[in-house]
Structure 1
Amino acid sequence: MTKIVEKMTQAGLGQLADGTLVERVLPGEEIEVLADGSARVITPVVDRVKAPCRHFKSCGGCAVQHASDRFVEGWKTQIVERAVTARDLPFPLRHVHTSPPKSRRRARLSGRRTKKGAMVGFHAKASDALIDVPDCQLLLPGIRAGFPALEALTVIAASRKSEVNLTVTDTLNGLDVHVATEKTLDGPLRIELAGLAEAHDLARLAWNDDVVVTRKSPDQQFGPARVAPPAASFLQATREGEQALVNAVLGSLGKARKVVDLFSGAGTFSLPIAAKCEVHAIEGDAEMLSALDRGWRHATGLKTVTTEVRDLFRRPLEPDELNRFDLAVLDPPRAGAQAQVATVAASDLKSVIMVSCNPVTFARDASALVSAGFAMVWIDVVDQFRWSPHVEVVASFTRT
């Protein structure tokens, strides 16, 4: 018995009329659901394409490579639109930006020892099975070229029964690798790892909470400044996506002279903004702020940047503190910035730019701003996690 796919869920699954969820199908397709829960497509739609990666059916890293770019862009835009309009907010869409294939500069991979050495890759969806991904269409070629180093690290770090997590980041000076493992770092191991980093020309190698060696500064370019963020710390997934977000923020500064950057991280927005405005950067991670400060001090042509270590979830900036600034930039984690947005709403601030990796918490926080008299001027959708259900948002708010 054949069935029609009714819609695509936010997780990238096709949904049938009875609620059944099926992988790798598209709305409007006539399918037959097989005994193992997979689908045989009887009548494909025009947006079905051949997956660009040969690992798509086995690897859990991507969800919608079977759909055209046009479809994926529309689907992700609709995810944001549904979240926003569910709060009775307008949806003033301005731009949609999608990062190109082979542009992911940061990835969290898994490593497992094998009889012949080691395997590094992504897990199959909802499975412990590890999939080798030699032709991955997400990662920068520089990261793929670093797999021999990751495999060598796996042989050292993993037992026969355990996996290791490998966070690898492409920097201006080579790969920055962080190994999360149960194996304890001692003197002989430190020497062995330093030799491995030398042999594979790694910029930096960290083992759990310890930096084993920094051969070259693992720099990222934030505006006019070079910054070496802490090992395995947050970083926008692609340079193209980051630039789209930065351009959106810079384009909305207007006549602002003093800007507060809330949840600033290591300076993704603070340092580009500092080319035009004074910036006060606030972040809960002291190491990230130290990296930001060093980057600012070594750059030229930037206005004053001050930093403050502060947990904005437990102790948000109060209205009288916010009133010292012309504009606030907020880029919170997935949980959003509910407490901080409440004090922004109670302040005299006239302009807010909000960046979010979660459309649902973004819509909640945007609703609080609109209730306080702000208008959403525009909203951009930024897709850094190509072929996945993840999507980011940046929007400008002006108090009317």
Structure 2
Amino acid sequence: MNEILSVVRLGQRGDGIAEAPGGDVFVPYALPGETVRAVRDGDRGQIVEIITPADSRVAAICPLFTRCGGCAAQHMSEGLYREWKRRQVVTALARAGVEAPVAEIVDAHGAGRRRVTFHARREGLGMLVGFMAARSHDLIAVPACPVLAPGLARAPAAAQLLANRLGGSNKPLDIQLTASEAGLDVDIRGHGPAGDKLRLSLTEAAERLDLARLSMHGEIIVERRPPQQRMGKAMVAPAAGGFLQATAQGEETIAGLVLAALPKVKRVADLFAGCGPFSFRLAERAQVHAVESDKAAILALTRGAAMTQGLKPIAAEIRDLFRRPLLEHELNAFDAVVLDPPRAGAEAQVRRLAGSKSGTVVYVSCDVGSFARDAAILIAGGYALEGVTPIDQFRYSAHIELVGVFRRAKKTELKT
């Protein structure tokens, strides 16, 4: 049954929210100030007609918008979009009882996303390759994507060819493609181990596609050129299928904020260090102790360090910081601590930090909720949250990242 709804605000995922007698109704792709006719199913609504469009509505840049689930906000004006993303950070901090100045959002899209994952599965006689449809497990073919960096222009065609080579398994696949200075770096997941015949076929496909590297589940099938990424002075080949910031500009922006917060330090712990995007830049001015649970990432970091001149020493440690966080006496050896955990945050490590004497903590987060929780722990332990900078490297998505800087107040002697 159709209902006429008046949209009053945006939700965290970008849905328009209308207030109705039975409770809030979430309407995808509706904007505040709009009146829409929608089909309602419980607290969800689907637009049938936009009766009164908002001034903040703009034309989408992609013809697949609203069908493809990759973007949530191409219909928002720049002002509304930036306000919506910043508000996510402000709201999450307020809910956790954390008070801190929140800067304006920093656009870190740059040339576009340098990493993309295509899904592939058998449809009839062939392999369908694309992205998930909006709010669905259906696949939609994506011949081109306007938010990708130029280095990924060949990614859809490359993913299709590789999926065709693997179609005989009838297994759903994830094909991750990363743009590197040497060309495409591809990691395929979902297929399982590759036999000799398949390895030969994939090696031939890598030649045909001129890939830098091709791997399956992180195991290298063929490396024709090291898929290097620049990190400060260093050139690093990340682990196959390993983590990398979504955009080159995003990495530069986050690293710049980290460095700006640490102008005069001698020893820094870089926790959840990955393959070293912060470690290498920090090592231009300080000794660094890099800690990461992924052995392949640490190997990439140490190789990059060995090949780079002009850096202060970087010590690397393989350690699961969720199960074995650095303890207070270990943390006390460092002037500052940088941490960039996954979405779950770093509660176990943060509790140890709260009891340490380290003067500064720079927390890079990809989840505002877990950051707010961990921030409250640090503040309770005597740190002050100096400020938070939201960073947008996932343009048109609901995803937001941030950098928070915590300082421990210096004890002052009481005057008599």
What is the TM-score normalised by the length of structure 1? 0.96
Q: Is the 8 A contact 1:95 1:379 kept in 2?
A: no
The amino acid across from 2:46 in the alignment is S
1:153-232 map, 5 Å? 153-159=162-168, 161-182=170-191, 184-232=193-241
Task: Say whether residues 1:32 and 2:32 are aligned partners.
Answer: no
CA distance in 2 between counterparts of 1:374 and 1:35 reads: 47
CA distance in 2 between counterparts of 1:323 and 1:99 reads: 33
Shift, 1:161, TM fit: 4.9
Which of these residues, 52, 56, 63, is aligned with residue 65 of structure 2? 56
1:132-147 map, 5 Å? 132-147=141-156
CA distance in 2 between counterparts of 1:321 and 1:390 reads: 34
Which of these residues, 33, 39, 45, is aligned with residue 54 of structure 2? 45
Task: Say whether residues 1:395 and 2:404 are aligned partners.
Answer: yes
Q: Is the 8 A contact 2:184 2:213 kept in 1?
A: yes
CA distance in 2 between counterparts of 1:161 and 1:275 reads: 49
Q: Is the 8 A contact 2:108 2:253 kept in 1?
A: no
CA distance in 2 between counterparts of 1:322 and 1:101 reads: 35
Shift, 1:94, TM fit: 2.9
Shift, 1:368, TM fit: 1.1
The aligned residue for residue 121 of structure 1 is 130
1:236-275 map, 5 Å? 236-275=245-284
The aligned residue for residue 19 of structure 1 is 24
Task: Say whether residues 1:281 and 2:283 are aligned partners.
Answer: no
Task: Say whether residues 1:301 and 2:306 are aligned partners.
Answer: no
Give the direction of change, closer, same or farther, for the CA distance of 1:33–1:101 in structure 2 (3 Å limit): farther
CA deviation profile, 1:113-145 (whole Å, cap 9, x unmatched): 456854422010232321122231111232132
Shift, 1:108, TM fit: 1.2
The amino acid across from 2:194 in the alignment is L
Give the direction of change, closer, same or farther, for the CA distance of 1:46–1:211 in structure 2 (3 Å limit): same
Q: Give the number of aligned pairs.
A: 400
Give SS of 2:230's match. strand
CA distance in 1 between counterparts of 2:396 and 2:116 reads: 15
Q: Is the 8 A contact 2:366 2:401 kept in 1?
A: yes
The aligned residue for residue 361 of structure 2 is 352
CA distance in 2 between counterparts of 1:101 and 1:296 reads: 26
Q: Is the 8 A contact 1:53 1:135 kept in 2?
A: no
Give SS of 2:153's match. helix
Q: Is the 8 A contact 2:181 2:227 kept in 1?
A: yes
CA distance in 2 between counterparts of 1:338 and 1:35 reads: 40
User: Greater CA deviation, 93-102 or 207-216?
Assistant: 93-102
Q: Is the 8 A contact 1:101 1:386 kept in 2?
A: no
Give SS of 1:34's match. strand
User: Greater CA deviation, 362-371 or 129-138?
Assistant: 129-138
CA distance in 1 between counterparts of 2:151 and 2:336 reads: 38
Give SS of 1:158's match. helix
Give the direction of change, closer, same or farther, for the CA distance of 1:104–1:209 in structure 2 (3 Å limit): closer
CA distance in 2 between counterparts of 1:190 and 1:59 reads: 32
User: Greater CA deviation, 85-94 or 366-375?
Assistant: 85-94
Shift, 1:239, TM fit: 0.8
Give SS of 1:245's match. helix
Give SS of 1:135's match. coil
Query: Structure 1: where are the runs of 5+ without partners?
Result: none
Q: Is the 8 A contact 1:206 1:231 kept in 2?
A: yes
CA distance in 1 between counterparts of 2:246 and 2:109 reads: 12
Question: Percent of aligned pairs with the same residue?
Answer: 40
Q: Is the 8 A contact 1:270 1:281 kept in 2?
A: yes
